[in-house]
Amino acid sequence: MTDRQPGTSTAPGTTKGSEPRDPSGTAEPNRGRTLLRDIAESTGAVVTLAVLAALALAAVLIAAANPEVQRTASYVFARPSDFLTAVWEAVWSAYSSLFRGAVFDPQASTTERMFRPLTETLTASVPLIFAGLGLGIGFRSGLFNIGAQGQVVLGAVVSAYVGFAFQLPALLHVTLAVLGGLMAGALWAGIAGALKARFGANEVIVTIMLNSIAVLLMSYLLSTTAFKRPGSNNPISPMLDESAMFVPLLGDSFRLHAGWLLALAAAVGTWWLMERSTWGFKFRAVGANADAARTAGTSVRAVYVWVMLVAGGLAGLGGVSQVLGTEGVLQEGVAGSIGFDAITVALLGRSRPLGTVLAATLFGALRAGSPLMQTVSGTPIDIVLVVQAVIVLLIAAPPLVRSMFRLPAPGSGSRLAKEVAA
């Protein structure tokens, strides 16, 4: 962080609590916001290089974990060709099977199966798009919302309940299930927004705690008769009604569902909200400089609440798409780690809608490809987690990537900061 531009340097007088009271109106943003803005401003080149560097580092680990490589390494100087061949084969088989599982499988038995991997990637990206969009809005508004996981869980719980507990006509049923999940996520996040606006409670801590509460709430609900499948003692809900499920887009042999279109629509909607609407301008103004925004007449408290409601609603839709799109049932772990992966997705997508969609698709590809990578090449699935983690590490420190690849430093501070300051 040595080559930070003067305009974004962290001042010692970082403000505490939610509402900065510095009357000068030129208070430096706090450290977290500066980091968020740094990441948001990292260039496409940095992001691409971070992904490539992560894949390269993972390749080293794949090779190191491979038993054949370990065996040949013991005599690498006697016959290096064995070692190099083993390394090449380990890395090639891992990444080629990842590709086969995520994009296109030339070895599949039918044409349908050849193209299925790409649709699986898109399917896996849907919940990440929703949750990532929500988090991106928060990040750009200066709210470090770690609570997407809890909002995803709540969205999944409510939409699943609507899905299996009611018998309704098709279109109405799925609409109600979607709205239920959306509102559940919004309200869950709204708790954190309201606590921050009213009492200055730190949204990081509140949302993390709400995550735990949401997960345990789901566990509890799954142990009640209202949620348990009749005749079974397992904590698994009844199957959802067909009428509540998203329709498949490409027929029954593909899992890609209408939720993907909804996710793309949400991305366009988010773009409009943030770039074209008055509220979006207020959101961004508060994110850039809350004091200046307040001086300009924006109710910062109202913004906090609205940002959390919108972000939570989108994250809730992530849970909805998981339940109504692919799973069709509510059970422990149905939300996986979507809420946490989405943080990475939003950061990688630089909190912009298009970037988020692309980043979610990349993560969807990693997720869709990893089973085949695991079964065909025996590569541990944890490698995928390493790739994701390294990507975060690298984009969280843009100067590191720049120095690794000798990129020039970017131009000074954000446009918006100037816009607001002006």
- Closest distance between other proteins and the C-beta of residue 374, in Å? 5
Backbone angles phi, psi at 133, to 5 degrees: -60, -45
Residues 6+ apart with CB under 8 A from 231: none
Half-sphere exposure of 234 (CA within 13 A, CB side): 9
Q: Which residue in 2, 6, 24, 77 binds other proteins (CB under 8 A)?
A: 77
**Cα gap 162→172, rounded to integer Å:** 11
Residue among 269 and 380 whose Cβ is closer to other proteins = 380
Q: How far is CA 193 from CA 16, 22, 308, 318, in A?
A: 17, 22, 5, 19
388 scored as a contact of other proteins (CB under 8 A): no
H/E run at residue 399 = helix 398-405
Site map (CB under 8 A) of other proteins, residues 180-219, x = contact:
------------------------------------x--x
67 scored as a contact of other proteins (CB under 8 A): no
Residue among 330 and 420 whose Cβ is closer to other proteins = 330
- Closest distance between other proteins and the C-beta of residue 125, in Å? 12
- DSSP state, 6? G
Residue among 347 and 372 whose Cβ is closer to other proteins = 372
Site map (CB under 8 A) of other proteins, residues 117-146, x = contact:
---x---x----------------------
**Cα gap 276→283, rounded to integer Å:** 12
111 scored as a contact of other proteins (CB under 8 A): no
**Cα gap 328→239, rounded to integer Å:** 6
Beta partners for residue 331, in sequence order: 236
- Closest distance between other proteins and the C-beta of residue 197, in Å? 32
381 scored as a contact of other proteins (CB under 8 A): yes
**Cα gap 326→159, rounded to integer Å:** 13
Q: How far is CA 131 from CA 35, 73, 153, 345, in A?
A: 20, 44, 11, 9
Residue among 141 and 379 whose Cβ is closer to other proteins = 379
Helices (H), 8-79: 31-41, 44-65, 67-73
Q: Which residue in 2, 111, 233, 278 binds other proteins (CB under 8 A)?
A: 233
149 scored as a contact of other proteins (CB under 8 A): no
Residue among 5 and 337 whose Cβ is closer to other proteins = 337
Site map (CB under 8 A) of other proteins, residues 250-269, x = contact:
-----x--------------
Span from 46-54, 159-167, 257-265, 380-388 in contact with other proteins (CB under 8 A): 380-388
DSSP symbols for 329-359? S-BTTTTTTHHHHHHHHHHHTTT-HHHHHHH
101 scored as a contact of other proteins (CB under 8 A): yes
Return residues touching other proteins (CB under 8 A): 73-79, 82, 101, 105, 108, 113, 120, 124, 216, 219, 223, 233-236, 239, 255, 322, 326-329, 331-338, 367-368, 371-372, 374-376, 380-381, 385
